[in-house]
Amino acid sequence: MSGDLTHLDDEGRARMVDVSAKASTTRIAVAAGELQTTREVIALVRADDMPKADVLATARIAGIAGAKRTSELIPLCHQLALSSVKVEFGFTESTITIEARAKTTGQTGVEMEALTAVAVAGLTLHDMVKAVDPAAVLNGVRLLTKSGGKRGNWVRDDETPSATVEYTDTSGRSAAVLVASTGGAAGTREDTTGPALTGWLEGLGFTVRGPLVYADADIDAGLADALRGGPALVITTGGTGASPTDRTPEATAAVLDRELPGLAEAMRRKGTEKIAHASLSRGLAGLVGGTVVVNLPGSPGGVRDGMAVLEPILDHLLAQVAGGGMHDE
């Protein structure tokens, strides 16, 4: 029995699993849930006009605090040194969606921390809206993805993110920044490209998730994370070269519906004007459903070149993908 359920010993008694022999690796988990409520509540929360103010901010802080105290709430969970917890909210016509991403470097996973963050954030939402809708229901608390450890990456295969998650950006200008960096994910190397892209996009009026930092070997899970919720734009940085560990183009090709080869070539041309090595970038650009995905190199110069190419065409590109934009411009 204990071989299938590791929290039971050979006599079927509950135990805390001994993880001392496991390798210490970067571990990331993403969980989600939703609060089913009324259209009136949705409108009030979006307008920040509930009787209890700062609904989302309060629930976000509660979710982060819940993740940090998971080992106190779930008896057999290990205490973890969390390096990051992010809680995001969105809206559909009748739900407030919740998504939590927890990260650590250690010997056991962070699934329970991500799930606890969602549950506590959802219960806090319920507390904040109950004066208007006491019948609100917290639904669907579930694990979406996890990575790291002996079993590698796991992605829930029955999820339809674009149908369930709509991030709080109300203008359609939503983006995610993904960094492929083994050193960055392990905390041994400081990345500057992700923050540079995030700041640039926010300056253009985007609501941005990230930087999401994944090891090169975990870039498939990173892309799944970045694409979750169907943002208008995903920009990756790193993992585009000829090194055996550079896998960003392969991971991107596996999910693209259509390529935008001219865009990728324009960024390579821009780079080779300054340095010949830019021609070695294998970065792709294309569409995953209604999301534009662009691979940039992992160097600060390559990212600056990519931003220079993207900025004058970005609004037109996103308008076309969304079904608008003039084709003769």
- For the annotated catalytic residues, the residue numbers are 127
The first and second tokens of residue 147, run together, are: 């990575």
Contact 92, 166 (CB under 8 A): yes
Which CA distances in Å does 264 have to 90, 278, 284, 290, 317? Answer: 31, 12, 6, 18, 14
Residue 290's CB is within 10 A of a number of other CB atoms, namely: 15
Q: What gap in Å lies between CA 42 and CA 96, rounded to an integer?
A: 7
Give every CB contact of residue 70 below 8 A, 6+ residues apart in sequence: 77, 80, 112, 113, 116
Residue whose structure tokens are 């694409």:
227
> Within a 10 A sphere around the Cβ of 250, how many other Cβ atoms?
13
Return the DSSP state at 11: T
* C-alpha distances in Å from residue 21, one per residue of 8, 24, 186, 260, 309: 18, 9, 19, 47, 49
CA dist 33 and 287 (Å) reads: 27
DSSP string covering 118-163? HHHHHHHHHHHHTTT-TT-EEEEEEEEEEE-STT--EE-TT--HHH
Tell me the H-state helices in 49-203. Answer: 55-68, 70-73, 111-129, 161-164, 182-186, 193-203
